[in-house]
């Protein structure tokens, strides 16, 4: 029996849903390592570089990252993974490998061309993202130079995203999950070791961060190669543009790209608004966003990554009832993680910011600015967790248009809220616009999914919302009280500031699990049962 047939035999049912949770756990573990190192990277940047410098670098780094979402991790991954899964399902592994070689060749052409154009167009791109920097002497020109230095990072990240998607179709999640940690390691090393050397020789120390990004991206591609070779995805590059499967990817990717372009407009406007909000606004918004990305990346994105191949195969088989059951299971898991993450980040915002960032050049104004942004952005964590499960479900169902026009409404909501609040609230108003527009997007996606997938049982999802939500609110109250009680024990900012956050987080976690069990949360019971089964198997072995 070949690999595709074996996979098909195992697809669907409770066993597959347990496998999804397990794969999500593996991806989440890898992402946890990357996010911890990412926080370490941000801690180093916050302590070693002044806010004026980090404002500029975050804009310069955002530009190739925005195109990475457009050309790689966003539209491309969501469009080619279902096609690759379908080819393997219907034509076998060899056909899938030939198709991937063609796709990889096309992506080399697209990514190299985009990098060349991006370096040439850096002044115009920076004008879009950071026109407000003209008001600071030399800031705009410095941003353009750093953008040009870091832009080739897009090539490596695009290839890494392509490799990760191919490995997902063969249920290989480990290397792709852990490889992104290499980017953060490279940037930390370069920030600490290379930046002072460059400064002593009269070069901008921000170039050290650009070097770190390029080295980290190259290491990610290199780390995937052994797994890709074992999976059969290292055939010579192809450039057969007549391949009908390649045309199907382009057909799928076009509306998704339009939807992501709407997101990019959102991103451009947010950075543009922040560049006009004064020194520190970009950095405070970014640091709050990074803290919110921590739980989202560890489980929400990991869950979506693990679920998409299974949904794609179930849709290819025409088993809509199992598609609905698998999707509902993913939604409930997203709520079980997203709700406590929201409660924790909002309830313990200041202790968390102090514990993570308050050292070196990160002063009290930075603590206050980042905390205010975190409270508002933290409210949207559970919303984004749900959106990240909803959008891939539409893509798996072959509906690439609905998420696009909903993204258009999301953009209008963002602009309306940002223009209303950026004046009185500054960077906090932009944060409120991000959260508010995400709520609009989630509500519309859920409402229209009732028509697209009527088999979905929303009552079970509502039950999880109530049990996980009640546990999260109660845990947040207890965690905040514990952090407040031990606050007088805090001494030095860098060390003593850890105490309230650590105590509050521990109390929160214990309370959430205890209350979840008390309220009968099914996802928690399922995960605990799975962990017990694994422990028993290990003991038996």
Which tokens sit at 35? Answer: 């996010």
For 277, which DSSP code? S
Owner of token pair 């944060």: 431
Q: What is the pLDDT of residues 97-115, one digit of tens each?
A: 888 888 888 888 888 999 9
Which tokens sit at 246? Answer: 């390649």
What's the 3-state SS for 219-286? HHHHHHHHHHHHHCCCCCCCCCCCCHHHHHHHHHHHHHHHHHHHHHHHHHHHHHHHHCCCCCHHHHHH
Longest pairwise C-alpha distance within the chain: 69
> Over 80: is that where the pLDDT of 40 sits?
yes
CA distance 526 to 532: 10
- pLDDT score of 421: 93
In contact, 516 and 471? CB cutoff 8 Å: yes
Q: How confident is the model at residue 436 (pLDDT cuts 50, 70, 90)?
A: very high
CA distance 530 to 513: 15
- pLDDT score of 18: 55
In contact, 428 and 376? CB cutoff 8 Å: yes
In contact, 442 and 382? CB cutoff 8 Å: no
Average pLDDT, rounded, for the chain: 82
Distance, CA of 45 to chain centre:
20
DSSP letters, 53-65, are HHHHHHHHHHHHH
The count of residues in the chain is: 541
What's the average model confidence in pLDDT over 444-465?
86
> Over 90: is that where the pLDDT of 428 sits?
yes
Q: What is the pLDDT of residues 56-96, one digit of tens each?
A: 999 999 888 877 766 656 566 667 777 777 777 777 777 77
CA distance 121 to 402: 32
Residue 276 makes CB contacts below 8 A (sequence gap 6+) with 131, 132
- pLDDT score of 115: 93
Q: What is the pLDDT of residues 131-145, one digit of tens each?
A: 889 888 899 999 999
CA distance 30 to 10: 25
In contact, 468 and 335? CB cutoff 8 Å: yes
Using alpha carbons, select from 541, 513, 217 the residue that is nearest to residue 209: 217
In contact, 453 and 323? CB cutoff 8 Å: yes
> Over 90: is that where the pLDDT of 376 sits?
yes
Q: How confident is the model at residue 30 (pLDDT cuts 50, 70, 90)?
A: low
Q: What is the pLDDT of residues 170-197, one digit of tens each?
A: 666 566 667 778 889 999 999 999 999 9
In contact, 31 and 39? CB cutoff 8 Å: no
Using alpha carbons, select from 371, 385, 301, 304 the residue that is nearest to residue 340: 385
What's the average model confidence in pLDDT over 331-339?
87
CB atoms within 10 A of CB 506: 12
Using alpha carbons, list the distances in angstroms from residue 139 to 11, 55, 121, 255: 54, 9, 17, 36
H helix runs in 487-519, sequence order: 493-496, 498-518
């Amino acid at each position: 029996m070949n690999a595709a047939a074996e996979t098909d035999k195992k697809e669907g049912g409770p066993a597959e849903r347990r496998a999804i949770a397990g794969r999500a756990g593996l991806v989440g573990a890898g992402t946890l390592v990357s996010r911890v190192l990412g926080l370490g990277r941000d801690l180093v940047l916050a302590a070693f570089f002044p806010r004026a410098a980090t404002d500029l670098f975050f804009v310069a780094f955002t530009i190739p990252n925005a195109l990475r979402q457009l050309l790689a991790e966003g539209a491309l991954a969501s469009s080619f993974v279902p096609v690759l899964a379908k080819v393997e399902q219907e034509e076998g592994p060899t056909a899938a490998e030939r198709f991937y070689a063609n796709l990889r060749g096309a992506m080399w052409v697209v990514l190299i061309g985009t990098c060349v154009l991006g370096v040439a167009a850096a002044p115009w791109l920076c004008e879009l993202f950071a026109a407000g920097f003209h008001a600071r002497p030399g800031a705009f020109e410095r941003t353009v130079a750093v953008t040009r230095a870091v832009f080739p990072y897009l090539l490596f990240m695009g290839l890494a995203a392509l490799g990760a998607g191919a490995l997902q179709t063969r249920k290989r999640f480990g290397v792709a999950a852990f490889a992104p940690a290499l980017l953060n390691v490279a940037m930390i090393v370069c920030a600490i070791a290379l930046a002072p050397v460059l400064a002593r020789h009269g070069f901008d120390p921000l170039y050290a961060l650009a070097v770190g990004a390029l080295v980290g991206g190259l290491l990610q591609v290199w780390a995937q190669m052994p797994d890709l070779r074992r999976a059969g995805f290292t055939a010579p590059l192809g450039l057969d543009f007549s391949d009908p499967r390649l045309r199907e990817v382009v057909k799928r990717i076009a509306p998704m790209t339009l939807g992501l372009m709407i997101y990019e407009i959102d991103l451009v406007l947010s950075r543009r608004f922040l560049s006009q909000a004064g020194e520190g606004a970009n950095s405070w918004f970014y640091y709050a966003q990074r803290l919110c990305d921590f739980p989202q990346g560890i489980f929400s994105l990991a869950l979506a990554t693990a679920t998409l191949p299974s949904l794609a195969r179930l849709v290819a088989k025409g088993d809509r009832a199992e598609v609905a059951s698998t999707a509902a299971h993913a939604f409930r898991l997203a709520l079980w993680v997203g709700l406590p993450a929201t409660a924790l980040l909002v309830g313990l915002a200041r202790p968390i910011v102090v514990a993570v960032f308050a050292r070196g050049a990160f002063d009290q104004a930075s603590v206050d600015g980042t905390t205010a942004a975190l409270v508002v952005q933290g409210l949207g964590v559970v919303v984004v967790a749900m959106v990240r499960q909803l959008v891939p479900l539409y893509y798996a169902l072959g509906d690439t248009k609905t998420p696009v026009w909903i993204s258009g409404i999301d953009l209008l909501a963002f602009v309306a809220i940002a223009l209303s609040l950026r004046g009185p609230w500054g960077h906090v108003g932009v944060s409120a616009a991000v959260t508010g527009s995400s709520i609009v997007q989630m509500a519309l996606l859920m409402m229209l999914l009732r028509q697209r997938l009527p088999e979905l049982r929303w009552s079970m999802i509502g039950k999880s919302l109530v049990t996980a939500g009640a546990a999260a609110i109660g845990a947040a109250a207890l965690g905040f009280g514990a952090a407040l009680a031990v606050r007088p024990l805090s001494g030095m900012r860098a060390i003593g500031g850890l105490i309230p956050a650590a105590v509050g987080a521990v109390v929160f976690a214990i309370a959430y699990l205890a209350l979840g069990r008390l309220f009968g949360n099914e996802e928690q019971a399922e995960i605990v049962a799975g962990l017990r089964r694994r422990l028993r198997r290990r003991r038996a072995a």
